[in-house]
């Protein structure tokens, strides 16, 4: 919880820069208090507020304070007018050099936000994840992103209002965070008991009650900000006689940065002695997260009682006025956290129902992811099988190519001659013979004489003056027809 104190302190210091006034000199008893040297002209050091635009905020304020006109307006404007945006109107009167630098700062901030948003979007899965446009626009609330080039009055107004609103809501958010912490701790305890048998559960419950009683057994805690509480700090921390307690001197001693105000961190430091009565980091029963929550409760209470103008600072005048009130002199007793449970039974029930729903959603998401994984594995197996088939086809084609298989050449003839048929395609049974079309079967005892006659006739044709016509070694069709006639 220490980071929260730095956040609150940083905002306080920034508000001081916006409303910085010289503190009224304080009378100090020099015989009892050693005066510390101060540098009145040196403003308090800036502290990180914890806002995501903290650097941009501090740089803008630093450059505005370099302009004499704007600095004078800061000194003469109260905090309420600043929150309402009246100070932003003075931006039109600052020097050209400052305005140019502010333009540059805004461009850098816009580029930074765009880069962060893009990086976040990429990490969440790119286009597969639904974009939360409202969350994205929230990142730009402290400036006018429609005009990313120049720093205008609207930009300063937005910056002041955003920082004020964000930090004023911090206490509320912190309370909710601590409440969730406490409920989760109780939920884990209950879940642990479910894993134990009856005897172990009984022992665990007894130990739990014993630790609660031991934690509650501590010295009386003074009411924060009361006379008794401050006198105890005066005596034990400052080493001074409680009978000589002086509010002005006390204020000066604990205004550690010397700016004339108690900021939230300086106030919280005053409660250390009271917290040490309740919490010890070496004790099992003491929770240091609860200690920080108790510290912040004390600071919040004092701020509500003393900070009359609600600027989250306690001035010397406000402090002195508070020391004269009855609540300062005769305060009520202070109820610590163990006397004020952070959550109600109804809130605890709703919290556990929410956790159960989250667990159910997570389990369903796990099942869906497992199904997606199985489907992806199935698709991968199909792709692997297709890859193997494709590889085999490629290898087969490569093998055919290497064997260089050639088709037989075709024979072309002129006229009506039929092409020669490949011997393998025209093979006949050994007992069969090929016959030309239209041939009639001749009995076996008549086949020899006609054949010899046909051969003799073919040999006599050239001698009779007939033209001899052969095509690629085949007999002329006219000669074949004449031979058939003779056979008939």
Average pLDDT over residues 77-102: 83
User: What is the band of 281 on the pLDDT scale with cuts at 50, 70, 90?
Assistant: very high
Task: Count CB neighbours of 370 within 10 A.
Answer: 10
**Which tokens sit at 318?**
């406000």
Percent of the chain scoring above 70 in pLDDT = 69
Per-residue pLDDT tens for 209-259? 999 999 999 999 999 999 999 999 999 999 999 999 999 999 999 999 898
Q: Is the pLDDT of residue 462 over 70?
A: no
Average pLDDT over residues 273-281: 94
Report yes or no: 434 and 428 within 8 Å, Cβ to Cβ: yes
Per-residue pLDDT tens for 375-387? 999 999 999 999 9
Question: Rounded to two decimals, what is the model's pTM?
Answer: 0.57
Average pLDDT over residues 417-422: 46
Per-residue pLDDT tens for 95-141? 999 999 999 999 999 998 888 888 877 776 555 555 565 666 667 88
pLDDT for position 104: 94
Report yes or no: 3 and 50 within 8 Å, Cβ to Cβ: yes
Q: Is the pLDDT of residue 302 over 90?
A: yes
Mean pLDDT of the chain: 77
d(CA 319, CA 98): 38
Architecture of domain 196-343 in this structure: Orthogonal Bundle (1.10)
Per-residue pLDDT tens for 168-181? 777 788 889 999 99
User: Which residues, 6+ apart, have CB-to-CB distance to 2 below 8 Å?
Assistant: 292
Cα–Cα distances (Å) from 274 to 87, 226, 277, 296, in that order, read: 41, 12, 5, 13
Q: Is the pLDDT of residue 404 over 60?
A: yes
């Amino acid at each position: 919880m220490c980071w929260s104190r730095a956040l609150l302190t940083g905002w306080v210091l920034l508000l001081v820069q916006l409303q910085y006034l010289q503190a009224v000199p304080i009378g100090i008893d020099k015989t009892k208090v050693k005066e510390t040297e101060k540098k009145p002209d040196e403003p308090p050091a800036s502290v990180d507020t914890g806002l995501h635009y903290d650097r941009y905020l501090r740089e803008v304020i630093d450059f505005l304070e370099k302009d004499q006109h704007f600095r004078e307006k800061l000194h003469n404007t109260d905090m309420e007018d600043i929150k309402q945006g009246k100070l932003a109107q003075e931006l039109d009167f600052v020097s050209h050099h400052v305005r140019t630098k502010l333009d540059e700062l805004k461009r850098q901030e816009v580029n930074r936000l765009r880069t962060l948003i893009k990086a976040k979007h990429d990490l969440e899965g790119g286009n597969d994840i639904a974009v939360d446009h409202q969350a994205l626009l929230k990142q730009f609330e402290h400036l006018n992103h429609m005009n990313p080039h120049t720093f205008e009055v609207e930009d300063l107004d937005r910056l002041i209002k955003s920082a004020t609103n964000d930090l004023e809501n911090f206490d509320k958010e912190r309370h909710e965070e601590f409440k969730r912490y406490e409920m989760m701790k109780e939920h884990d305890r209950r879940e642990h008991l479910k894993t134990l048998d009856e005897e172990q559960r009984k022992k665990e419950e007894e130990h739990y009650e014993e630790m609660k009683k031991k934690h509650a057994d501590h010295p009386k805690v003074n009411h924060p900000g009361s006379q008794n509480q401050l006198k105890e700090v005066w005596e034990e921390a400052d080493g001074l006689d409680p009978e000589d307690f002086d509010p002005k001197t006390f204020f000066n001693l604990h205004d550690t940065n010397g700016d004339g105000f108690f900021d939230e961190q300086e106030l919280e430091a005053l409660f250390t002695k009271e917290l040490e009565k309740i919490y010890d980091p070496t004790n099992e029963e003491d929770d240091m997260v609860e200690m920080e929550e108790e510290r912040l409760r004390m600071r919040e209470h004092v701020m509500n009682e003393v900070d009359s103008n609600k600027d989250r600072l306690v001035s010397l005048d406000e402090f002195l006025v508070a020391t004269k009130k009855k609540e300062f002199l005769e305060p009520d007793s202070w109820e610590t956290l163990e006397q004020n449970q952070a959550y109600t039974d109804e809130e605890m029930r709703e919290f556990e129902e929410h956790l159960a729903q989250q667990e159910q959603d997570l389990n369903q998401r796990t099942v869906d992811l497992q199904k997606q994984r199985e489907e992806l594995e199935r698709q991968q197996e199909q792709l692997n099988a297709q890859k193997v088939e494709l590889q085999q086809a490629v290898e087969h084609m490569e093998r055919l190519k290497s064997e260089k298989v050639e088709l037989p050449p075709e024979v072309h003839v002129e006229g009506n001659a039929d092409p020669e048929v490949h011997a393998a395609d025209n093979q006949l049974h050994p007992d069969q013979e090929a016959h030309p079309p239209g041939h009639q079967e001749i009995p076996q005892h008549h086949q020899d004489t006609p054949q010899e006659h046909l051969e003799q006739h073919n040999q006599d044709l050239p001698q009779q003056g007939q033209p001899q016509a052969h095509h690629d070694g085949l007999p002329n069709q006219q000669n074949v027809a004449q031979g058939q006639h003779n056979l008939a």
